[in-house]
Amino acid sequence: MIDNLALQPMRLRGAVAPLGVALVAVLLLGGATVAASSSPQAFVAFAAALVVLAAVAAARWPRTAIVLVLLSPIVDRYIVADLLPAEIASASHYLSEALLLTVSVILAWRAWTDGRLIAAFRHPVTVALLAFTALAGLSAIVNGVPPHVAVIGLVFTLDAVALFFLPRLVGFTLRQTLAVVGVIGGIVLTAAVLAIGQALLMPRLFGMVPVRGRFGEEVRLASLFGDPNVFGAFLVSAVPFALIAAARLPDRRLRWLAGAIAFVLLLALWLSFSRGAWIALVLGVGFMLAIVDRRALLLGALGCVLTFVAADTMPRNLLVERKPPRTNMVDSTIDRVETIGVGGDLRTLFVIQSIPVFRDHALLGVGPGRFGGAVANTFPTPIYDEYEFGELFWSPKQRTVDNFWLHLVIEAGLLGTAAFLAAVLIPGVRVVRAARAAVGWRRIALGGIAAGTAGLAVSSGSTMLLEANSIGFLFWLLLGLGALVVAAAGVDDPDRAPPAPGEAPAPAA
């Protein structure tokens, strides 16, 4: 049944309610966006209605509610925020936090009444996160961090971790996991098609705004997301699912379809000019595919070559009268590398400038909220003055160090970073081990999760993607779903989640 999953008829009755919730959510979001230009109160009313809808969905259709929470940062940070007045745009970022809190409370209550709450949190990741929190608290005390700064700093680092536990509160089967991956993949694929349309027709297609690069790139395409690095990260997370599907699906037509999807995603990735995403594709996705599925790795290598040629030779700006100069992809990348080599890259300078900070605070760090992230920008930190970071933050647009792992190491120290990495690697290693032995759709799900999360982790070395409610939602949800798929297969009994109400327990291996 698993291997023939794609060939089974859709159960329309079961899909009507989730699709209806999604449609109403889109209408409310559209209403909020339109109303915001005339009345902040109307925006708040629509946003409150969206939160109420999420609460109802969490009570009746909990898995649909989790998907709404997952997608909310994409909307309120990258799509809707660009359409709102400036005084409302920043407030819209809290919409996803409100949805996360609402859905989490209701799902936790459901799990409590069903006697499943404690079992859902009985996991080694919980221990690692508690250790991280305790070490962060100790660091805050030692470094004299104000309590409100420490709490907000912890929230910004750990709020996305809730997405690891939400699936455990309700239970996800392999088919439901693939459905979630399909929703994410559909959105990313749509954005990729739009980005290719931007390149072929005009950069401002449908009102989308491209970004001008600093190394000869006339246009860096970001599609719906506005930020090429965020767009690139989503593409990196979706590519391995398509590649493994192209290598392992039993039906030849489905393999060709998956290959075509992978081609579109890779082509859009080149057009984004996100070098961090390119590196993540090679070091994260490539390394993991070499472990999990070498056939998919070979397809990916071939796809990268073909799509690079296509991106470099495809016609551009067919609907633009005064066509901008065409970017040479090789030359612009060489310029970027040379900038790093001569010490002119800002991310490299942040690392060099942070060495004395690390030397002085190696074990416990400088405390949560004190370095590198949005909290340190909002609540001025003495670390920047003490260690002379002022020259690096000369631009008002430069709010972070653009490196989540640097931010984590300096704030949490070696001990806190080790606890955080343990929370990531415990489920990650289990997913990788299970993916190597899996077949059929389970191999696609587990291999895609392993490679996708590895790519996101590497990509966060050049961005702050795992901070707060951005890519972190997707990263932790994939890890949570992967842990449940492993448990359902009976591969790792300690990872087994309790069955959902009315479902039979997963069989032992």
Same domain, 237 and 98: no
- Tokens found for residue 182: 């399909």
Is 72 inside a domain boundary? yes
Instruction: Answer whether residue 215 is part of any domain.
Output: yes
**Shared-domain flag, residues 90 and 203:** no
Are 229 and 102 members of one domain? no
Asked whether residue 196 falls in the same domain as residue 67, the answer is no
Establish if 333 belongs to a structural domain: no
In sequence order, the 6+-apart residues with CB closer than 8 A to the CB of 334 are none
* Domain final residue, candidates 301, 328, 355: 328
On whether both 104 and 220 belong to a single domain, the answer is no
Query: Which of 113, 144, 169 is the last residue in one of the domains?
Result: 113
- Residue 269, CA atoms < 13 Å, CB-side half-sphere: 31
Q: Considering 113, 140, 166, which residue would you say is the last residue of a domain?
A: 113
- Kindly state whether residues 23 and 105 are assigned to the same domain: yes
Taking residues 195-208, report their average pLDDT.
Answer: 86
Identify whether 437 is part of a domain.
no
Write down the pLDDT at residue 466.
86
Give yes or no: residues 96 and 220 share one domain: no
Residues 100 and 187 in one domain: no
Phi-psi region of 216 (alpha: psi -120 to 50; beta: other; left: phi over 0): left
Task: Compute the average pLDDT of residues 397-418.
Answer: 93
Give yes or no: residues 204 and 320 share one domain: yes
DSSP of 103-143, one letter per residue? HHHHHHHHHHHTT-HHHHH-SHHHHHHHHHHHHHHHHHHHH
DSSP assignment of 235-264 equals HHHHHHHHHHHHHH-SSHHHHHHHHHHHHH
Evaluate if residue 330 carries a pLDDT over 70: no
Q: Considering the domain boundaries, does residue 502 fall inside one?
A: no
Q: Is residue 49 part of a domain?
A: yes
Q: Are residues 316 and 191 in the same domain?
A: yes
pLDDT digits (tens, 9 = 90+) for 278-310: 999 999 999 999 999 999 999 999 999 999 999
Q: Are residues 106 and 224 in the same domain?
A: no
**Confidence (pLDDT) at 13:** 52
Write out pLDDT tens, residues 9-30.
445 455 666 677 778 887 877 7
Q: Which domain holds residue 34?
A: 14-113
In this predicted structure, the answer to whether residue 413 has a pLDDT above a threshold of 80 is yes
In tens, the pLDDT along 124-167 reads 999 999 999 999 999 999 999 999 999 999 999 999 999 999 99
109 shares its domain with 238: no
Question: Is 274 in a helix, a strand, or coil?
Answer: coil
Tell me which residue has tokens 């006339």.
Answer: 218
- What type of residue is 361? H
Domain count, the chain: 2
Asked if residue 142 is part of any domain, the answer here is: no
Asked, for residue 406, whether it belongs to a domain, the answer is no
